[in-house]
Structure 1
Amino acid sequence: MNPAAPTATVQGPPEGITSTGTAESAPLQSDVVGEKTVTSAADPSQGIPTGGEIVPITSVLESGYSILPTVVPTGTMSMSAAEPAPTAGTRGDCNATAPAEAGKGKAGLGWMKDSGECASDFLQPGNKVSWGWNWSAKRELVPAVLDFVPILFGGDNDTISGFREAKDQWGFGVTSVMSLYEPHLAERANITAENAAGIHKEVMNGMKGVYEIGGPVMSQDTTGSIEVAKKWYTDFYVACDQGCVIDFLPIAIYGTDITKSIGQITEWYNLFGASNGTPIWIVEMDCRDLSTAQGCPAEAAEAYARALLDWADSTEWVHRYAWFDAFVTAGSDKDNGNSLVTSTGTLSDLGRRYAYGPAQ
């Protein structure tokens, strides 16, 4: 048995959701979780919420990308000068000198078969990478030292059967699981909220008390809006009728405006997590114009990452995050500044910062 995590059952529509399953139009204000005030980004001119505090926004790039001033959270982004992050190398000649070890931070790796051979470069002493996932129910190449987070990618019978078969092989390296992947999008799982609620109850609820259970992974549409996702998830909550076990809310956020991105994450938490203290996992994030699918150039990507990582590390209700991506050949990220690895599979400048924090 895996270590049991505290498990919360959905208690019905969260605050801000009507009994008919529609989101109220009134602007979000703030919610209090314990003694912590969470302020929404309904008024971007006020700044960006960071764990209850408001941080002023500064635009520093002529290209128009809006980022936050650099903030280094205490104890989360530092790297010992005696243990420098690996530097550039070649595939098959990785720079890791010590056995791989998991870090203790919130950072995770989206790791697939084309992610290169140098996973150990992310996992040297001083790293903050604690978990990994691969859009699958099977660990495959996700490094064994990391907490692996499987996902039920779709709702068809074959995918559900494969998920259950994989579950028998998880062992002690799994403590959390995630439900359906982007079911609200036609090009992904494409499942109605009502059917998704039934699948979640059938497949995920039975793991209560053994694994921490995530809800369906939600994301923006190609315009960068979260309105479709909000409507779908509202309907999902209503269809669950207090019967879906959900311990965390996984979301994917992309953008070029850090103010908007953090505002969307905060709005999602205020709508679906704040009333019962359900934390957010940002399972995908990077600097990208969704209307063109074009990733940002290196300077803008690093600025966006710096701001988003600093905010996520200092925000109590963000429990985990994973940058997209650590691929060598998949998609177009090898040609833009978002990739954590180089074309040889070793760490890029952004990858070193992601895994080890800013250089000292």
Structure 2
Amino acid sequence: MSFRLFVLSVLLATAFAQSTTSRRHFRWSRHSRYRHHRTRTLRPTGGFYPTGGLPTGGSPTGGYATGELPVPTSAAAPVIPSSDVPSYSRPISSAPVSSVSTVVVTTVVTTPLPSTVAPTTAVPTTLVPTTVGPTTAAPPPATTSKASSISSYAPAPSSPSGDGSKKGLSFTDPSVLTPWAGKGVGWTYNWWTTRGNVPKEMDYFPMMWCPTKLSVKAWEDAANTAISQGSTRILGFNEPDQTGQCDITYQAAAEGHMAYMNQFKGKAKIGSPAVTNGGGQMGLTYQENFLNACNGNCSIDFLNMHWYGNKQNAVYNFQLQVNKTIALGEKFGINEVYVTEFGMNDGTAQDKADFLNQVLPWMDGMAKVGGYAYFMCSDGSLMSGSSISPVLGAAYASA
């Protein structure tokens, strides 16, 4: 009897242990399925999204992810020209290149004004002035045709400034220019009027950012100082066709150009406003409306353009926009174009370097392209900290 009770107790203990193990296995399996369902995908700028839960509208907060779009290897198929796209965006200059391939997001950003220079006049509450108050009389009406009048201000393309290179750098901190000494940089600008510690071998182009930022007299003094320090060109308003930038009507831009820029005819080469490649009333439509509003009275030596686009067909779309700008200039007797901002919104650093390796030699060979500046000389783009970035920056430096 005692032996039978012993065997029975062993069997009962074994059965209880198996039952406990089975329940634990069931709980673990259910938890595993739940965890699998909640597997998350890394967001482009940190944090996570649940799998399948990427937003269907809007964009993640800040930044952008790498897009895996094909690069054309032959003549591009018909595409929508970038100038016809109804939106305009450029990447945040400090955004690091991401290797995550989730969703492509572009973010419109404002070009920063250097914090070291304060406007000398209060900024009006509206960004679209109804009048521009010049301190000197406006030029008399033109007595010749529109094209010939502007052409009289526009010389034939000459050798680029600085050390002879078309390559330029846009910056907000002049210390980032130091590593570029001896890298063939011909000119620089910083969206403002003061040269600062720009290396002597590089020309500096002051910019009249917007009539809402400086009085005519303040700009006159600043530009004359820059010219006395060796500046050979002055840049017009920054993206007057873009909300968040200069953002004024083309009529106000024409009046402002005559008031601010015409006085430097014969002292320096004068650039038009820098327009985006946006569609609709932006971009080259705005530029042409501006030139028509000038009615032959604006002193202009070169047209100023910006371009941003995505990786797919980037080379084709960029060259198309440059050629359209050249054609517009020729229509008004203006024989030179400067590309003072350009860049790819998506893609890896190597994708962008490949883009530069194609478009920089092309622009160097274009007689009517006077200069270009990739956006921009800062950490995360052409720079990595205080050094030239090893892929994108190196491609620009070696061009």
The interval holding the TM-score normalised by the smaller chain is: 0.5 to 0.7
Cα distance in 2 for residues equivalent to 1:343 and 1:204: 36
Residue of structure 1 in register with 2:10 after alignment: none
Residue of structure 1 in register with 2:198 after alignment: 142
Cα distance in 1 for residues equivalent to 2:238 and 2:176: 27
TM-score, length of structure 2 as denominator length: 0.56
Cα distance in 2 for residues equivalent to 1:351 and 1:203: 35
Q: Percent identity of the aligned residues?
A: 23
Residue of structure 1 in register with 2:378 after alignment: 327
Higher strand share: 1
Q: How far did residue 118 of structure 1 move?
A: 4.9
Give deviations 1:273-324, integer Å, cap 9, x for gaps. 3552521101011111xxxxxx431121011111111211111111100111
Q: How far did residue 159 of structure 1 move?
A: 5.4
**Change beyond 3 A, Cα 1:149–1:268:** same
Residue of structure 2 in register with 1:64 after alignment: 70
Q: How far did residue 185 of structure 1 move?
A: 1.3
Are the aligned partners of 2:356 and 2:395 in contact in 1 as well (CA < 8 Å)?
Answer: no
Are the aligned partners of 1:151 and 1:177 in contact in 2 as well (CA < 8 Å)?
Answer: yes
Q: How far did residue 150 of structure 1 move?
A: 0.7
**Change beyond 3 A, Cα 1:234–1:168:** closer
Q: How far did residue 271 of structure 1 move?
A: 2.1
Work out which structure has the larger RCO, using CA pairs closer than 8 Å and 6 or more positions apart in sequence: 1
Give deviations 1:120-141, integer Å, cap 9, x for gaps. 32122xx321100001111124
Residue of structure 2 in register with 1:112 after alignment: 172
Are the aligned partners of 1:220 and 1:226 in contact in 2 as well (CA < 8 Å)?
Answer: no
Are the aligned partners of 1:153 and 1:159 in contact in 2 as well (CA < 8 Å)?
Answer: no
Residue of structure 2 in register with 1:194 after alignment: 251
Cα distance in 2 for residues equivalent to 1:227 and 1:206: 29
Residue of structure 2 in register with 1:349 after alignment: 391
Aligned-CA RMSD value? 2.4
Structure 2 stretches lacking a partner, 5+ long: 1-66, 76-161
Q: How far did residue 178 of structure 1 move?
A: 1.1
List aligned pairs for 1:30-109, cutoff 5 A. 63-66=69-72, 103-109=163-169
Higher helix share: 2
Are the aligned partners of 2:188 and 2:204 in contact in 1 as well (CA < 8 Å)?
Answer: yes
Q: How far did residue 344 of structure 1 move?
A: 3.7
Q: Please, which of 250, 275, 287 is the counterpart of residue 233 of structure 1?
A: 287
Cα distance in 1 for residues equivalent to 2:213 and 2:355: 40
Are the aligned partners of 1:154 and 1:180 in contact in 2 as well (CA < 8 Å)?
Answer: yes
Q: Please, which of 322, 334, 342 is the counterpart of residue 265 of structure 1?
A: 322
Cα distance in 2 for residues equivalent to 1:239 and 1:275: 12
Residue of structure 2 in register with 1:331 after alignment: none
Structure 1 stretches lacking a partner, 5+ long: 1-60, 70-101, 289-294, 329-333
Residue of structure 1 in register with 2:57 after alignment: none
Cα distance in 1 for residues equivalent to 2:241 and 2:176: 35
Cα distance in 2 for residues equivalent to 1:68 and 1:254: 21
Are the aligned partners of 1:109 and 1:326 in contact in 2 as well (CA < 8 Å)?
Answer: yes
Aligned residue identity for 1:120: T
Q: How far did residue 272 of structure 1 move?
A: 2.8
Q: How far did residue 226 of structure 1 move?
A: 7.1
Are the aligned partners of 1:248 and 1:279 in contact in 2 as well (CA < 8 Å)?
Answer: yes
Give deviations 1:15-64, integer Å, cap 9, x for gaps. xxxxxxxxxxxxxxxxxxxxxxxxxxxxxxxxxxxxxxxxxxxxxx9731
**Change beyond 3 A, Cα 1:215–1:119:** same
